[in-house]
Amino acid sequence: MAEKKEDEEAKPDSGMRGIAMYASNVDDPYVTLHVDSDEEEKEEIEVKPEDNLVALAKIDR
């Protein structure tokens, strides 16, 4: 049991072997649906005619 612990300590990154990382999802061959996050964020912020809005204000003097 002690030998196994020594082996685990000697190879801390052995669990990460074979993992590929890409700088962008566009470069990743396994990502087939590319989403433009800037465009998606713009759509979330935009107020549409069918949106319900609530406005509150409090003024302390």
Name the one residue in this structure whose structure tokens are 């649906």: 33
In a domain, 57, yes or no: no
Whether pLDDT at 1 is above 60: no
What pLDDT shows up at residue 3? 60
In a domain, 28, yes or no: yes
pTM for the predicted model, two decimal places: 0.30
- pLDDT higher at 18 or 57: 57
Tens digits of per-residue pLDDT, 10-44?
566 567 777 778 888 778 888 877 777 777 778 78
Domain that holds residue 40: 2-45
In a domain, 18, yes or no: yes
DSSP letter for each residue of 3-47: HHHHHHHH-TTGGGTT----SSTTT-TT--S---HHHHHHHHHSP
Count of structural domains within the chain = 1
What pLDDT shows up at residue 7? 55
| Rounded Cα gap, residues 26 and 35, in angstroms | 9
Tokens of 44: 């979330």
In a domain, 50, yes or no: no
In a domain, 10, yes or no: yes
What pLDDT shows up at residue 57? 95
DSSP label of 2: H
